[in-house]
Structure 1
Amino acid sequence: MRLILTLALLACATFAAPTHAADRIVAVVNDQVITLSQLQSRAALNLRQVGIANPSAQQRDAVTKRSLSNLVDEELQRQFAKSAGLSLGKQERENAIASVRKNMGEATWQNLTGGMTGAAEDKIAAEALWQKIIASQVAPRVQVSTPEADRLIAELGKSRKVEDREISIIMLEEGADTEANKNLLQKLTELKQKTDAGESFSDLARAHSDDKSAVNGGKLGWFGTGELNPQLEESLDNLKVGQVSEPIRTPEGWYLVRLDNIRTNSPVDINPQTQLELFLLAAPAAADKAAAKEQAKAFDAATGKLKTRDDVAKYFSEAQYKDAFPLSTSLGWVTQNDLDSDIAQAIVKTKPGQWTKTVTVNGNASRVFVADTRQAMADKLAAYRDRVLKNMYGNRVELESRRFLQNLRQRAFLDIRL
């Protein structure tokens, strides 16, 4: 979905061990091979990175198979990049590696790479190259429209409550054909039975999940209503905290989902806000009645000449107020809630193109010009819409990326000899 240079990358890292004469070939990818020593290095590293110190035979087998799948995908990506004229420059490579080390912290980096720094850096570069492929070949085809997000938000606005849900997943990528998907369903069913029998969901995710969240035991974090795949949302609606779903098929692949936690929020207010464009003419309050009378005359003289929005805007832009009204300012577009209570009360009956009467604001004599009004999206709604749009776009890029990789697999000559 995006370049995530984190611990998850290292959990799937490729460590190309030297090829020896007796090194057996475990896979052929078009005209390139993957050797047993490469696979063993990858599987050993994956087990260490996901925290499985003493793996069972079944866990070791699952991680080995997933490691080989990762190796094959990386080789396919490298070959495609070469054919498409895509490459990773030296500076890009260095920047990607530096970003990971900075985000991890040096102590964590050293602990996780364990003397295999060069190989780890190669993997980070490979992931960066894959993101280049996505950026040039996949992302330009993905579109998400604002009306789509607005329709979703409007539906949520009808609810009395909106739930955020914290979830964990085990994800298996979509199979190449009917038989493959039948086997995936069987595998997920068996994993579900293990969770029902008390086995750790996190350990099973680390050993079996194809998603990058596997390194964190499948934890994905918090998601608001409408931000997940519809099939996952529907399944989560029927779960209580701590429960695991039945196998779910989505366009991205096969899932088991565990509901970790729930928090309930008030729905986002979808009603537009009335905003006002205001100009504040202000000066220190007069010290006595005589000074107040003179000040009132100055206010009348100034506001009497400023009848239109353009007149007022020019007056303020040129700071013509600075001698008589040194505390004046353009307030810009604001809502009633943004205003001092005295100003808010003063403008209640003031129409666009009019000045208020003189009011006292923070000890200063003031008049406010209401230049215009408009209906605008509430700030919280705008931020929520941006969040929804970002998640919708990210989900679609992820889906299209998986499809793109699946297409590479289908077009390639693959000979798996494990």
Structure 2
Amino acid sequence: MSVATMMKSLTRSLLAILLLPVCVHAAELDRVVAVVNDEVITASELNTRIAQAERLLAAQGTPKPSASQLRGQVLDRMVIERVQLQAAKQRGLSVDDATLDRTIQRIAEQNKLAVADMPKALAQEGIVWNQFRDNVRNEILMSRLREREVDARITISPGEVDALLAAGATAPKAREYLVSHILLRAPEGATPDQLNALSLRAEELQRQIRQGEDFAKLAASYSAAQDAMQGGSLDWRPLERVPAIFAELLPGMRKGEVSKTLRSAAGLHVFKLMDLRDAAESKVEVEQTRARHILVRGDAAGSADKARQRLDDIAIRIRGGAADFAEMARVHSSDITAAKGGDLGWLSPGDTVPEFERAMNALKPGEISAAIESPFGWHIIQVLERKKVDVTADRRKMEARQALRERKIDEAFEDWLRQLRDAAWVEIKPE
């Protein structure tokens, strides 16, 4: 997983960590509230997480669920986190200190802080530095587990991409949707009675929503989705990024409308269309450069200094008209393009190494560079011409593939969590 992708997946969890205090009630350390396989969750841990959830809900302006509902929701999330961390350990996954430090560095930058100032800043919010580091490490570990067990198994076929693009081409106008949802998770192999009970609960939630009950509060009270404490909000998404079972209904819904009960592999869903807006579309162009070069490797010339001097001499001869660039490339270049007179064809941004691209971009058409070094050796470069190329279609195809992948990952992740939770031995102790 790339750093950018990982940071995106950690944003909400780390926001909670940054906002919320860590407090330990020493008198309750020995009271066990849940057993998860061979590990326990203590009352002090649960109380800490409940306090965190209360602070997060207050920061978001979300009405707080009842004490018993909040306790149950928080404990369920702690159980799911614990089984994920246990699964990561069983698979030999770990997070070294260097990776942890790099992630914290990026968190500090996002919050416009120096890492050295973070312990003091966190302490002012009641957050213990070592606990913060442990929480970040666990979030990275769970992200890696998800990548291995879910993300890596997702495939997108060219046909799926083409079908999505075709559907978008016939749509009246590109739109983005703000959706909030509630997931009532069904256990593996749920019985008809269990499903009927969930259906009745979903109907009751729909009734409360239509009567004006705060959706975010209901999500925080009842939803088994990972975004429950964020009010079930999926944030603004284009239709192709919305879960498939939601996307089928959304185009025909009005702002504020509540869906019927929907069923997926993870359980039952109810969602509300909070808002919608037209999505901005823009043409995407890149500048391409047609260039040629002569490459001399330092070892072939005897030394780096000799290679540079040799190329400088060749460049002087070409600029003075005493030699032809293509002919010099055929004779002197060590690159496979030598037979074509050093012609590299049309290059888009990112097609070459940064050192080469910077030197090439600094040239006007017809100009020849001084000798420049790259990981491949020493070059002289000539820019032949430039043009603007419309890559909107390529960009849309890339975005469509990514949207389909993210949609499938979201859906598969909830189902995988359900299976992981159902496979664990969990005992919830009475209050």
TM-score (norm 2): 0.65
Equivalent in the alignment of 1:246 = 260
- Alignment match of 2:10 (pick from 5, 8, 11): 5
- Deviation digits for residues 39-62 of structure 1, max 9, x if unmatched? 122112111112179998953222
**In structure 1, distance between residues paired with 2:159 and 2:409:** 19
- Is the alpha carbon distance of 1:196 and 1:134 closer, same or farther for their aligned partners in structure 2, counting shifts above 3 Å? same
**In structure 1, distance between residues paired with 2:419 and 2:89:** 17
Equivalent in the alignment of 2:36 = 29
Does structure 2 conserve the Cα–Cα contact (< 8 Å) formed by 1:8 and 1:213?
no
- Is the alpha carbon distance of 1:120 and 1:141 closer, same or farther for their aligned partners in structure 2, counting shifts above 3 Å? same
Equivalent in the alignment of 1:407 = 419
- Is the alpha carbon distance of 1:48 and 1:266 closer, same or farther for their aligned partners in structure 2, counting shifts above 3 Å? closer
1:103 deviates by: 2.7
SS of corresponding position for 2:10: coil
Instruction: Determine whether 1:67 maps to 2:67.
Output: no
Does structure 2 conserve the Cα–Cα contact (< 8 Å) formed by 1:166 and 1:261?
yes
**In structure 2, distance between residues paired with 1:142 and 1:259:** 28
Equivalent in the alignment of 1:295 = none
TM-score (norm 1): 0.67
- Deviation digits for residues 181-232 of structure 1, max 9, x if unmatched? 4444333332222221212223333444344444443332222233322210
- Alignment match of 1:186 (pick from 197, 200, 205): 200
1:381 deviates by: 2.4
- Alignment match of 2:239 (pick from 199, 202, 225): 225
**In structure 2, distance between residues paired with 1:158 and 1:16:** 55
Matches within 5 A, 1:252-331: 252-264=266-278, 314=341, 330-331=384-385
1:34 deviates by: 1.1
**In structure 1, distance between residues paired with 2:367 and 2:104:** 55
**In structure 2, distance between residues paired with 1:408 and 1:151:** 33
**In structure 2, distance between residues paired with 1:405 and 1:316:** 53
Gaps of 5+ in 1: 280-309, 336-377
Larger radius of gyration: 1
- Total equivalences in the alignment: 337
- Deviation digits for residues 82-132 of structure 1, max 9, x if unmatched? 221111112222333333343345599749953344433322221111111
Paired amino acid for 1:192: Q
**In structure 1, distance between residues paired with 2:195 and 2:124:** 34
- Alignment match of 1:49 (pick from 53, 56, 64): 56
**In structure 2, distance between residues paired with 1:172 and 1:243:** 19
- Is the alpha carbon distance of 1:401 and 1:167 closer, same or farther for their aligned partners in structure 2, counting shifts above 3 Å? closer
State, as a whole percentage, how many aligned pairs show the same letter: 23
Equivalent in the alignment of 2:171 = 159
Instruction: Determine whether 1:175 maps to 2:159.
Output: no
- Is the alpha carbon distance of 1:277 and 1:411 closer, same or farther for their aligned partners in structure 2, counting shifts above 3 Å? closer
Equivalent in the alignment of 2:85 = 78
Does structure 2 conserve the Cα–Cα contact (< 8 Å) formed by 1:14 and 1:119?
no
Equivalent in the alignment of 1:114 = 126
Gaps of 5+ in 2: 292-336, 345-363, 369-381
Instruction: Determine whether 1:146 maps to 2:158.
Output: yes
**In structure 1, distance between residues paired with 2:205 and 2:125:** 30
Paired amino acid for 2:187: G
Moved more, 244-253 or 80-89: 244-253
